[in-house]
């Protein structure tokens, strides 16, 4: 029994958090689409660094680009964009069958632009034109500058995957920017029916940091809260999603044909080996959600993830968990800010390593 297919039947989309020419050339991605119901792909600088440094299928093209292209970022794009285009083409039937609600591939704007609104906007437009596929999502970070850029891009008709979201405050700021951008686009006479964006809420890193803070307190109560913060955050975020996108604030836009901005569970590989390998899959299954899953977690979920509509279960417990953390002096807002800064730094470092490969 393939439990991934059961999850899909419950209304959650399963995307693969990986992309490489090995997956494309050896038919692995096609198999994931056909057998596991995978209906989207996400990428980031770390994923492309691993792909280009390990896969044999880039060697000849990289040698050619080194001799013909002086700009190292354009060399990288000369490798990554064909991969994104090929994945988009594989997922185009899914995109068409879903009416543009699924079947997307994500490509990230340089993380070095995380604090530069203007360049983020221009680069997102450039990447959209360069890839030239209807099922591309351009990844933009949920930094203050990134959120401002996201609002403008939504108004301009660029579909975005907002990444590096680590708190409920980040989630709300992103949702509100989406609605403002759609309203601007709608008021200008633009077609909002084709708008599709997702909000990528990172999970495992939240538990890693909060668990460390709880371990430092070292009380039995603090230790009993370990491994529960990220799932609690996600459950509360889904409540915010329902309140906003199935309430009065979005009603007019929905009537005009706009889609909600789905939550996407990101960073769903379990980092602590003492925890379940599907701890960011099983409790977060819900309609109008997406889980982007790395290969090892995908295999685990296929094998033994219980498929139930779980996202709205245990919400009072999630609220109580947040309250107990606050009472212990652990601010989930501050956790989110710290993790976002670290995430930007880590993605920028991965991008720098990627550029080193291109030299």
Q: Is residue 320 part of a domain?
A: no
Q: Is residue 220 part of a domain?
A: no
Going by pLDDT thresholds of 50, 70 and 90, the confidence category of residue 355 is very high
CATH code of residue 8: 3.20.20.70
With contact defined as beta carbons under 8 Å apart, do 203 and 267 qualify? yes
Q: What is the mean pLDDT of the chain?
A: 97
Please report which helix (H) or strand (E) contains residue 289, including its range.
strand 289-293
- Give the active site residue among 128, 139, 213, 228: 139
pLDDT digits (tens, 9 = 90+) for 304-346: 999 999 999 999 999 999 999 999 999 999 999 999 999 999 9
| Tokens encoding 32 | 């994931």
Q: Is residue 274 part of a domain?
A: yes
| Tokens encoding 224 | 């009993």
- 59-68 long-range CB contacts below 8 Å, 24 or more apart? 62/357, 62/358, 65/358, 66/358
Which residues are bridge partners to 291 per DSSP? 14, 265
* Alpha helix positions (H), 18-116: 21-25, 28-36, 45-54, 59-68, 72-97
pLDDT at residue number 149: 98
| Tokens encoding 85 | 């285009």
The range of the structural domain enclosing residue 58 comes to 3-203+234-311+337-358
From start to end of 85-196, where are the E strands?
104-108, 136-141, 160-165
Residue 32 above 90 pLDDT? yes
pLDDT at residue number 33: 98
pLDDT digits (tens, 9 = 90+) for 257-308: 999 999 999 999 999 999 999 999 999 999 999 999 999 999 999 999 999 9
Going by pLDDT thresholds of 50, 70 and 90, the confidence category of residue 88 is very high
Q: Is residue 114 part of a domain?
A: yes
Q: Is residue 98 part of a domain?
A: yes
pLDDT at residue number 170: 98
Q: Is residue 154 part of a domain?
A: yes
Say whether pTM exceeds 0.85: yes
How many domains is the chain partitioned into structurally? 1
Alpha carbon distance, N-terminus to C-terminus of the chain: 47
Sign of the dihedral through C-alpha 345, 153, 173, 165: negative
3-state secondary structure of 54: helix
Q: Is residue 325 part of a domain?
A: no
pLDDT digits (tens, 9 = 90+) for 113-149: 999 999 999 999 999 999 999 999 999 999 999 999 9
| Non-local CB neighbours of 329 within 8 Å, separated by 6+ positions | none
3-state secondary structure of 141: strand
Going by pLDDT thresholds of 50, 70 and 90, the confidence category of residue 239 is very high
With contact defined as beta carbons under 8 Å apart, do 330 and 214 qualify? yes
What's the rounded Cα separation, in Å, for the pair 29 and 25? 9
| Tokens encoding 161 | 């995957």
| Tokens encoding 351 | 């991008």
pLDDT digits (tens, 9 = 90+) for 41-80: 999 999 999 999 999 999 999 999 999 999 999 999 999 9
Going by pLDDT thresholds of 50, 70 and 90, the confidence category of residue 1 is confident
Q: Is residue 187 part of a domain?
A: yes
pLDDT digits (tens, 9 = 90+) for 177-211: 999 999 999 999 999 999 999 999 999 999 999 99
User: Burial level of 27, CB count in 10 A (0-12/13-18/19+)?
Assistant: exposed
Look up 255 and say whether it is catalytic: no
């Amino acid at each position: 029994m393939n439990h991934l297919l059961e999850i899909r039947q419950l209304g959650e989309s399963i995307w693969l958090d990986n992309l490489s020419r090995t997956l494309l050339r050896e038919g692995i991605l096609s198999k994931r689409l056909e057998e596991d119901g995978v209906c989207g792909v996400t990428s980031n600088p770390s994923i492309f660094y691993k792909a280009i440094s390990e896969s044999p299928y880039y060697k000849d093209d990289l040698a050619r680009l080194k001799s013909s292209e002086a700009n190292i970022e354009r060399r990288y794009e000369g490798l990554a964009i064909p991969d994104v285009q090929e994945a988009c083409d594989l997922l185009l039937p899914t995109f068409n069958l879903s009416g543009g609600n699924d079947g997307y591939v994500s490509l990230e704007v340089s993380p070095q632009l995380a604090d530069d609104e203007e360049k983020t906007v221009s680069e997102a437009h450039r990447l959209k034109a360069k890839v030239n596929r209807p099922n591309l999502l351009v990844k933009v970070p949920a930094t203050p500058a990134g959120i401002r850029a996201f609002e403008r891009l939504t108004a301009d008709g660029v579909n975005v995957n907002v990444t590096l979201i680590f708190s409920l405050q980040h989630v709300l700021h992103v949702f509100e920017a989406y609605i403002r951008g759609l309203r601007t686009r709608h008021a200008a006479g633009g077609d909002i029916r084709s708008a599709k964006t997702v909000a990528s809420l990172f999970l495992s890193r939240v538990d890693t940091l909060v668990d460390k803070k709880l371990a430092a307190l070292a009380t039995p109560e603090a230790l009993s809260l370990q491994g529960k913060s990220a799932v609690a955050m996600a459950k509360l975020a889904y409540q915010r999603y329902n309140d906003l996108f199935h309430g009065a604030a979005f009603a007019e836009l929905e009537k005009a044909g706009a889609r909600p901005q789905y939550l996407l569970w990101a960073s769903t590989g379990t980092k602590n080996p003492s925890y379940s390998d599907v701890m960011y899959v099983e409790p977060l299954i819900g309609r109008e959600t997406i889980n982007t899953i790395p290969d090892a977690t995908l295999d685990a979920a296929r094998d033994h993830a219980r498929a139930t509509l779980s996202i709205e279960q245990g919400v009072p417990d999630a609220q109580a968990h947040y309250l107990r953390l606050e009472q212990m002096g652990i601010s989930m807002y501050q956790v989110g800010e710290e993790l976002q800064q670290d995430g930007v730094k880590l993605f920028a470092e991965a991008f720098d390593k990627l550029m080193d490969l291109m030299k």
